[in-house]
Amino acid sequence: MAATIYYDSDADLSHLKDVTIAILGYGSQGHAQAQNLRDSGCNVIIGQRPGSANYDLAVSHKFEPMSVEEAVKQADVINILLPDEVQGDVYRNQILPNLSDGNVLMCSHGFNIHFGQVEPPSGVDTLLVAPKGPGHLVRSEYEKGGGVPCLIALGDGASEKTRQIGLAYAKAIGGTRGGVIETTIAEETETDLFGEQVVLCGGVSELVKAAFETLVEAGYQPEMAYFECMHELKLIVDLFYEGGLSYMRYSVSNTAEYGDYVTGPRIITAETKQVMKQVLEEIQSGKFARDWILENRAGAASFKATRRRNRDHEIETVGRRLRKLMSWIDDKEV
């Protein structure tokens, strides 16, 4: 069955007329969605704790940020754009006590609603509008007259009016210019987690790292290994993005294409696919969510240690040095 996709003409901004939208958090998604909404004529307020760069950023964008509690009290539509791992606590302590009947509670990722960390009281609908791209693109594409495609999903029992609000919201942030796909909160949450773990973040990083280590351990120069296994990846992914796998294969040499066919299936094997299935089951059963919530309760000790260890890997130190020598690359340091 083909997906339902909405475009500009399917959405009516008048559903947000006389509606106050609170954006909670002025981070990656918050700063982008808030500004796009305002530029589309919506009434936007910001809930952002003081004392951080994001607070100052909101002020520099001519918003008057207030506490989460105050923003929830004043708003009709509340979008929680805080890190997923803090949403449960902030929801229970600062949002829930200030919700009123008829409010619409929004998110850009279904993790907390799907896994029961954000449970709306009766009379409050939940709604997901999730841009399929990072915040800075949500803003820059909108400014160029385009938009990042979005997903829309209604929470259990949400009304048709809430769907109209969601489509209007998606239009106001530029999403209906790119297309807004109808999904469910379960589907969005599970496929998002699966994609980032298996391919986008986990799978690709480990593939690159293992290949880099293999070359370096065999005595090749780390700089060569970096260019082969990391730097060139972008060129290949750009071809995927423009024309799929076939376009990449058309563009590379016949030797590279032959190597792709004979070696690819030896790297990603039937066993790898078995593990993918297991990962999916752990996402569906809530095991992954529970582990991540518990890790945060424990102060994220193992998460922080792993982050530190990965930052010191040789592929990172070599890469930092090489990127400095390529002046056209906008080198980012964390």
Binding site for ligand NDP (CB under 6 A): 25-30, 48-49, 52, 54, 81-84, 86, 90, 107-109, 130-131, 134-135
CB of 111 to ligand NDP, least distance (A): 7
Is 190 a binding residue for Mg ion by CB under 5 A? The answer is: no
Q: Which of 64, 66, 69, 67 is nearest to 99 (CA)?
A: 69
Is 192 a binding residue for Mg ion by CB under 5 A? The answer is: yes
Is 188 a binding residue for Mg ion by CB under 5 A? The answer is: no
Strand bridging mode 77-80 / 20-24: parallel
The residue from 15, 31, 109, 114 that is catalytic is 109
Which range of residues in 189-197, 224-232, 256-264, 296-304 is near Mg ion by CB under 5 A?
A: 189-197
Closest to Mg ion by CB, 48 or 108: 108
Q: Which residues pair with 104 in a beta bridge?
A: 77, 125
125 contact, one of Mg ion, ligand NDP, none, CB 5-8 Å limit per kind: none
Total binding residues toward Mg ion, as defined by CB under 5 A: 1
Closest to Mg ion by CB, 118 or 130: 130
Q: Which of 258, 283, 137, 264 is nearest to 198 (CA)?
A: 283
109 flagged as catalytic: yes
3-state secondary structure (DSSP) of residue 113: helix
Count of CA atoms in the C-beta half-sphere (13 A) of 169 = 33
DSSP secondary structure code for residue 156 in this structure: T
158 contact, one of Mg ion, ligand NDP, none, CB 5-8 Å limit per kind: none
CB of 278 to Mg ion, least distance (A): 20
- Cβ neighbors of 262 (< 8 A, separation 6 or more) are none
Closest to ligand NDP by CB, 227 or 292: 292
Euclidean distance between CA atoms 25 and 312, whole angstroms:
31
The amino acid present at 39, given as its one-letter code, is: D
Is 84 a binding residue for Mg ion by CB under 5 A? The answer is: no
Number of H helices, E strands in the chain: 17, 8
Which residue sits closest to ligand NDP, CB atoms considered? 27
Closest to ligand NDP by CB, 6 or 91: 91
203 contact, one of Mg ion, ligand NDP, none, CB 5-8 Å limit per kind: none
C-alpha 29, offset from chain centre: 8
Task: Judge whether 79 and 33 are in contact, CB under 8 Å.
Answer: yes
> Which residue numbers are catalytic?
109
The residues of the shown chain that bind Mg ion, judged by CB under 5 A, are 192
